Amino acid sequence: MYKFESIKLDKNHPQHLYVQLYKMIKELILLGHLKEADRLPPVRAMSKMLEINNVTVVKAYEILEKEGLVYKKIGSGTYISKQLINQLNEVDQESKQQTNIRSQLMEQGHIKVEKNMINFASATPSADLFPVEDFKQVLNEVLDRDKGYAFDYQEGQGYYQLRKILKDYIFHYGIKSEVENIQIISGAQQGIDIISKALVNYGDYVLIESPSYTGAMAAFNSRGAKMIDIPLQKDGLDLDILEKKIKTHKPRFIYVMPNFQNPTGISYSPGKKKELLKICKNYNMYIVEDDYLSDLNFYSEDNTTLKKLDEDELVIYIKSFSKIFMPGLRLGFLVIPSKLHENLLMAKHTTDISTSGLLQRAFELYLDKGIWQQHLKYMEDKYKERFVVMKESIKEYFPEYISYSLPLGGVNFWFKLPKGFSSKELYERSVVKNIIFAPGNLFFMNNNDEGYFRLSIAAVNPSEIKYGIKILSIVIREYIDKRRDQRNDSLIKPIL
């Protein structure tokens, strides 16, 4: 009986007594105080001990039985069920396993997304924003028009008509290029990879921003490059450190995202863009510019690309459409300095011969018909709505000790927890509340957890953003305020 002495019912509580009793017995089971085959006190004994009537106890036992936590043996009594305890242990094991799987995935730069989660981790748009119907029409039109040719190998450099229309497209953004300097790629990731393949020999140095895009770091790593990271400041790279590193290491190139950088959302100031070009010209070093998002400019007065400012053919420009179109299409393009044309073409050829002809042709038609401009406008509006809600929610809910500086466009928001707190731990706490984000260590070469984290608005709608930020704020407060209280409690104080 002693195990049940901890049960205290509150007769003044609005919750029914039988519910209180059921919950307390369940807790004893879950905590392991009641074990398999232990017997519950007979109804009359329990009711006497708790000074309640028999019916209350019967009702509580009935719920426990319905849940499979106990079973009745006729003429003998009510016992704790074995099966369910095993199941509960399994659940516990499963959640431990899940934590292990999560951290293994995380080490590899992946995050498991369940259907009901609010996904601040993914920086690619949710499928409901894809222009499926419009694309179906251009696909059909291409099939009727080009028949089997659409399925032939294409020129390695890319379908000529597409390169031609892209030349005009980038001209609107101030980038002057010849059709010959445009190389179609199967997504920006492939672009980064073939640039490394063409330019990097094992052991060569490559400069990157710190923090940087994980996919690029992985590509450079896979080619045996030695990476050196240059700290990012609020207005772009630390140019003093950059120059020192160029002098000492003579790198092959620097990889940068000057507009709405991933993961920080930082944009380089116009001055720093120009200065970067000047330094690279002085040292005759290539710049790989990953323009994954300059189109999504909401409040910046300058989203100029380095390529637009490049008068010396120093910039290898990579354009991805994944954030504003459909990532699964695997389409993008490079604008290449003439000198590198052959090398890059060879690298592309040995990678996949050519990008899908059908998709290149359909995309060309999509651009040609002007549907692209409508879609771009649609995506800008959608993202801007999310952007505004995100900004407002952060201001409303986030505790003042979370540091951040708001981006002026794009989809990524970058935060820092107070010193000594871990974004991985915050992740573990928020994932159980069905909120996921990208812990900051993933974006640093040393993988150190310094409390940074990235929230992206690409895959969440405005109401999810508001709700998600509210819950995340609660999780943050629970993590940080409680831990601080504990730390304060255990302070070593002088005896006065």
| Backbone φ/ψ region at 471: left (φ over 0), alpha (ψ -120 to 50), beta | alpha
- The residue (of 41 and 258) whose beta carbon lies closer to ligand PLP is 258
- The residue (of 57 and 335) whose beta carbon lies closer to ligand PLP is 335
Preceding peptide of 263 cis, ω within 30°: yes
- The residue (of 188 and 426) whose beta carbon lies closer to ligand PLP is 188
Give me the least distance between CB of 215 and ligand PLP, in Å please: 5
CA gap 345, 14 in Å, rounded: 75
Render 305-361 in DSSP notation, one character per residue.
-HHHH-SSS-EEEEEE-TTTS-GGG--EEEE--GGGHHHHHHHHHHHHSS--HHHHH
- The residue (of 213 and 398) whose beta carbon lies closer to ligand PLP is 213
Residue nearest to ligand PLP as judged by C-beta position: 187
Give me the least distance between CB of 203 and ligand PLP, in Å please: 25
Angstrom distances, CA of residue 298 to CA of 2, 58, 133, 311, 336: 66, 64, 27, 27, 28
- The residue (of 213 and 427) whose beta carbon lies closer to ligand PLP is 213
Give me the least distance between CB of 330 and ligand PLP, in Å please: 7
Give me the least distance between CB of 491 and ligand PLP, in Å please: 43
CA gap 145, 93 in Å, rounded: 58
Q: Which residues pair with 335 in a beta bridge?
A: 182, 317
Give me the least distance between CB of 432 and ligand PLP, in Å please: 26
Give me the least distance between CB of 110 and ligand PLP, in Å please: 13
Residues in contact with ligand PLP by CB under 6 A are 123, 187-189, 213, 215, 257, 262, 290, 292, 320, 322, 327, 332
Of the candidates 138, 196, 155, 134, the one whose C-alpha atom is nearest the C-alpha of residue 356 is: 155
- The residue (of 293 and 340) whose beta carbon lies closer to ligand PLP is 293
Give me the least distance between CB of 242 and ligand PLP, in Å please: 19
Of the candidates 463, 482, 460, 473, the one whose C-alpha atom is nearest the C-alpha of residue 433 is: 473
- The residue (of 262 and 354) whose beta carbon lies closer to ligand PLP is 262
Pairing of strands 226-233, 205-210: parallel
CA gap 250, 248 in Å, rounded: 6
